[in-house]
Amino acid sequence: TQNTNFNIAVIPGDGIGKPVIEQGIRVLEKVAGQLGISFDWEHFDWSCEHFHKTGKMMPEDGLEQLKRHNAIYLGAVGYPGVPDHVSLWGLLIPIRRVFQQYACIRPVRLFEGVPSPLAGVGPGDVDFVVVRENNEGEYSEIGGRIFQGTDAEVVSQQTLFSKKGVDRILHYAFDLASRRKGKLTSATKSNGIMHTMPFWDERFAILAKKYPQVQTNQFHIDILTAHFVQHPQWFDVVVGSNLFGDILSDLGPAVAGTIGIAASANINPEGQFPSMFEPVHGSAPDIAGKGIANPIGAIWAGAMMLEHLGFEEGHDVILGAIERVVKHQSGKTRDMGGTATTLECANAILDEI
């Protein structure tokens, strides 16, 4: 029988992370009621504020505490006063790595009613998913710095691609493409980066043979970014390394109007560890505390969490409500060209549900 009670670890984090997660929880509570399931939310105040008080982004046994939850729901971490690499490496990256959340899934859709910065592009033209490798690649701790502060200063940073790591993310992307429109694009740069990227291409070509139903192509990252802008209609699933996936998954939502609606899932596909769901955006210090942050990225991330827990219909109910709300001026926050507050936007979505 299907589990109907879920323990969720909530890490609102910094800045606008707090209000958007609060609204996401309200939406999930309402849908849970309709589905006949329930959530136990356990809040963790791990953040830059926590860092100021304790010198750590999370306690020593933080990962142990998170491990027993069914999923993690996160707002955003990072705030002026704490260097971004400290906040990121002190919390988000350990969670993604130790919990083997190697597949980062970021859907990109242009909704009717949300203005796109691209001329002549309408709803239906932009509907794809970026699959980002989330555990290795360019984001590695291996490297160093010598002769610091002198004219001879040298720094180096190592990129690591393992066969296991590359294959498992490619498999995930091929599987996802099989369930969608059957098209998979690989982001590469095998002309300039002469070891890791040809290896990535090689594995992509080998795995493609196992998925004859998926139509494949690949582009170097430079021209691929141009195609995202000029031909967003071409894409269904786009797979990239940690760095390329990171870049593409901000560019994607930007062509779909605003990063404020973009959602992200950090998935441990084997289900050995909890997966983590978060909006793509950061803590937005420039608008924090003003009550105007767009809650849709967090709400959509909540929908992805429901889907991951086995409730696809709950996901679809939330997406449908978002779709209907953004069609009208009244529920839209400023970044979508409206005037609604965080609360008004979330209330409009709750009404639709």
* Residue 76 binds to ligand NAI (criterion: CB under 6 A): yes
Q: How far is the CB of 353 from ligand NAI (least distance, A)?
A: 20
- Dist. CA 46–CA 247, nearest whole Å: 26
Number of CB atoms found within 10 A of residue 295's CB: 31
Choose, by CB under 5 A, the member of 246, 307, 335, 344 that binds Mg ion: 246
Name the binder of 246 from Mg ion, ligand NAI, none, CB < 5-8 A by kind. Mg ion
Question: Of 16 and 166, which CB lies nearer to ligand NAI in the complex structure?
Answer: 16
Pick from 138, 246, 307, 335: which binds ligand NAI (CB under 6 A)?
A: 335
Using the minimum distance from each CB to ligand NAI, give the nearer residue, 133 or 278: 278
Q: Minimum distance from CB of 76 to ligand NAI (Å)?
A: 4
Residues 116, 132: contact at Cβ < 8 Å? no
User: What distance separates the 2 farthest-apart alpha carbons in the chain?
Assistant: 66
Type and span of the H or E element at 7: strand 5-13
Is residue 223 classed as helix, strand or coil in its secondary structure? Answer: helix
Out of 72, 166, 251, 287, the residue judged to bind ligand NAI by CB under 6 A: 287
How many residues bind ligand NAI, per CB under 6 A?
Answer: 21
CB–CB of 58/44 below 8 Å? yes
Instruction: Select 136 or 335, whichever has its Cβ closest to ligand NAI.
Output: 335
* Neighbouring C-beta atoms of residue 339, cutoff 10 Å: 12
How many other β-carbons are positioned within 10 Å of the β-carbon of residue 46? 26
Per CB under 6 A, 275 contacts ligand NAI: no
Instruction: Provide the sign of the torsion angle of the four alpha carbons 255, 227, 169, 209, taken in this order.
Output: positive
Could you tell me the two tokens for 1?
A: 């029988």
The identity of residue 202, as a single letter, is E
Residue 77 near which of ligand NAI, Mg ion, none (CB within 5-8 Å, type-dependent): ligand NAI
In angstroms, the CA 214 to CA 182 distance is: 5
C-alpha to C-alpha distance for 177 and 175, rounded to whole angstroms: 5
344 binds Mg ion, rule: CB under 5 A: no
Residue keyed to tokens 């924090």: 288
Contact between residue 7 and residue 42 where contact means Cβ atoms under 8 Å apart: yes
Task: Say how far apart CA 5 and CA 9 lie, in whole Å.
Answer: 13
Binding status of residue 294 toward ligand NAI by CB under 6 A: yes
Stretches 186-194, 215-223, 227-235, 278-286: which one binds ligand NAI (CB under 6 A)? 278-286
Q: Which residue's CB is nearer to ligand NAI, number 100 or number 294?
A: 294
Which of the stretches 129-137, 192-200, 221-229, 276-284 binds ligand NAI when contact is defined by CB under 6 A? 276-284
**Site residues (CB under 6 A) for ligand NAI, limited to 245-264:** 259-260
Interaction between residue 297 and ligand NAI (CB under 6 A): yes
Among 106, 281, 308, 332, binds ligand NAI (CB under 6 A): 281
> Considering beta carbons, is residue 86 or 353 the nearer one to Mg ion?
86
**Is residue 21 part of the contact set for ligand NAI (CB under 6 A)?**
no
Of residues 78-137, those binding ligand NAI (CB under 6 A): 78-79, 84, 92
Q: CA separation (Å) from 29 to 16, 103, 312? A: 20, 26, 16
Are 131 and 240 within 8 A, CB to CB? yes
Among Mg ion, ligand NAI, none, what does residue 186 contact (CB within 5–8 Å per kind)? none
Of 130 and 166, which has the nearer Cβ to ligand NAI?
Answer: 130
Distance of alpha carbon 185 from alpha carbon 219, whole angstroms: 7
Whole-angstrom Cα distance, residue 249 to residue 224?
Answer: 12
Which residue, 203 or 308, has its beta carbon nearer to ligand NAI? 308
CA pair distance 244, 229, nearest whole angstrom: 16
Residue 178 or 347: which CB sits closer to ligand NAI?
Answer: 347
How many residues touch Mg ion (CB under 5 A)? Answer: 1
**Contact residues for Mg ion (CB under 5 A)?**
246
Q: Which residues bind ligand NAI (CB under 6 A)?
A: 16, 76-79, 84, 92, 259-260, 278, 281-287, 293-294, 297, 335
